[in-house]
Structure 1
Amino acid sequence: MTVLGPALQEHTATYVFAVCGHVDHSAFAALPGIGESFPVRLLPFGALTAVVQHVEAAHFNEDAWRVRLSDERELERCARAHHDVVSAAALRGPTAPLPLATLYRSDERARQALRQDAERFHTVLRRIAGRVEWAVKVYAHTAPAPAPVLATAPPAGEGHDRSSPCGGRAYLDRKRGLQKRREQRHDEALRTAETVDSALRTVAAASRRLRTHAQEPQEPGRTQVLNAAYLVDEERVDEVARTIAGLRRSTGADIEMSGPWVPYSFVGEVGA
């Protein structure tokens, strides 16, 4: 345990990564943590333990965080450092990760706040014990926009036929037909997403539907129709993989699966 003198305590804050049961501090010996100036350490409160780190208060106040999180590279560094510490704790036992940038003015303030939430932490740790999170995403493919039809001038003395292959009415009909097919494909993808979700909920201990992501600029023809997380018993992980493989074959769906992860999606909802 790091003990700071009174003068230095005035210039530091306590950053909290996660809450767990008993864990040995050696699990974090090689990790720089979020601030890097002080070691990652343990802060006991009752029967539970918080994984924490002193950080320089001036570098982690509200304004500093606003600047830090607006920088994409710095945000990625902080998120990765936070996740590395949480993952190290999770390797030793059930771990409830706290959100990025969970800060208190001192260890005592952190203890007081965490004690008030101790019952919820106990509930969370019991729920996620022996379980991991898997992320599953389903995508729909959209058709490209119709190519414009270049109208040609009608022969002399003839009127312009809007229903001809080169006319405006034909172009609008083609565009409406393409839009209808796009909507049909999207509806089919939504039904497939429900099929995928229903199948995985029979394997998972719990599930959460998350907000779908906007279409990525680098993938203009691909739209996300399902973004979900599943809390799965560790001994059923292979069953999840087989279920996904079967769904890909039976539906032909574009399904992405990633994990196992620390159960971030199943911490905040318990007792909230």
Structure 2
Amino acid sequence: MTTTQHTAPTVDGTTAGTATYVYAVCRQLAPAGLSALPGLAEGFPVRALRCGTLTAVVQHVPAADFTQEAWEQRLSDRTELERCARAHHEVVVAAAAGGPTAPLALATLYRSDERAREALGQDAARFTAVLDRIAGHAEWGVKVSLPAGSPRPPADPPPDGARRDAPAAPGAGRAYLERKRGLHRAREHRHDQALRTAEDIDAALSRLATAARRLRTHGQELTGTAARRQILNAAYLLPHERAGDLAAEAAAWRARTGAEIELSGPWVPYSFVGEV
């Protein structure tokens, strides 16, 4: 998350010492649904800024509190980062309730409304294509995990490492190495099976979607469990009428593979606004 540009204090028409924070771009906006939201700066209303045929969802913020240095400090604090992300998302969701909405990255700032209007207007063709693409769609997240099932190493050490004074039984060393090779082959087999399962599930869900994105899978330190291993983390841009099909397909794959498949959504399509 990086500050786009234009964070120095400047006079913006009627408001001095502010910058213009941009949450999203859409076509139509009902300002009444946004005016009660605090956004990132209480005391300044969240509002619409017309940019040609498009509308930006913006808010004045104190420029001195939203410099590059201030953002770096704010985003290095986990609590503050979560607060900002939550406030940003709340505004985007409210805007999206009125129609297709392309959310912008956290910390997108300009020196003034005029600079925001100029910059966004230059990108109007891309925003228009994005809004056309996501109209009637929502983003769904899918996480798939399987039992970890990692085999343990042999409990018995190599024969010559247990008792130095006892002769190793004939063939014991070879048997130990064979067991280790067998465990290694079993791990590789399980790994290959997990990859095939992930690919098959992703392919099936992608057939329902307009677009799909594979995301980085989470390790056990993020999932919070050592009992299961995440094999797929993906986002799908799905027409609204296909949400039931997604749930049914996920249920079928759960029954077929024993995988744990977690669906989340519908979301504003954050993952699909930068691909056009």
The question of a shared fold, defined as TM-score above 0.5 by the shorter chain, is answered with: yes
Residue equivalent to 1:191: 196
CA 1:184–1:112 in structure 2 vs 1: closer, same or farther (change >3 Å)?
Answer: same
1:224: Cα distance to partner? Answer: 2.5
CA 1:241–1:7 in structure 2 vs 1: closer, same or farther (change >3 Å)?
Answer: closer
1:125: Cα distance to partner? Answer: 0.7
Query: Does 2:135 align with 1:135?
Result: no
User: Is the 1:79–1:100 contact (alpha carbons within 8 Å) kept by the matching residues of 2?
Assistant: yes
User: Is the 2:36–2:45 contact (alpha carbons within 8 Å) kept by the matching residues of 1?
Assistant: no
CA 1:10–1:144 in structure 2 vs 1: closer, same or farther (change >3 Å)?
Answer: farther
Q: Which AA in structure 2 matches 1:149?
A: D
Q: Which AA in structure 1 matches 2:273?
A: V
TM-score (norm 1): 0.87
User: Is the 1:247–1:253 contact (alpha carbons within 8 Å) kept by the matching residues of 2?
Assistant: yes
Q: 2:156 pairs with 126, 149, 161, which one?
A: 149
Offset from partner CA, 1:202-239 (integer Å, 9 cap, x none): 21111112222333263234332222111111111111
Q: Which AA in structure 2 matches 1:58?
A: A
> Partners in 2 of 1:233 and 1:148 — Cα distance?
53
Residue equivalent to 2:92: 86
CA 1:36–1:184 in structure 2 vs 1: closer, same or farther (change >3 Å)?
Answer: farther
Query: Which stretches in structure 1 are left out of the alignment for 5+ residues?
Result: none
CA 1:66–1:30 in structure 2 vs 1: closer, same or farther (change >3 Å)?
Answer: same
- Match of 1:11, SS? strand
1:263: Cα distance to partner? Answer: 0.6
Residue equivalent to 1:120: 126
User: Is the 1:144–1:221 contact (alpha carbons within 8 Å) kept by the matching residues of 2?
Assistant: no
> Partners in 2 of 1:58 and 1:236 — Cα distance?
46
User: How many equivalent pairs are there?
Assistant: 262
Residue equivalent to 2:167: 159
- Match of 2:212, SS? strand
1:177: Cα distance to partner? Answer: 3.1
Residue equivalent to 2:236: 230
Q: CA RMSD in A?
A: 2.4
Query: Which stretches in structure 2 are left out of the alignment for 5+ residues?
Result: 1-9
Q: 2:249 pairs with 224, 243, 247, which one?
A: 243
User: Is the 1:140–1:186 contact (alpha carbons within 8 Å) kept by the matching residues of 2?
Assistant: no
Residue equivalent to 1:53: 59
1:3-22 counterparts in 2 under 5 A?
9-22=15-28
TM-score (norm 2): 0.86
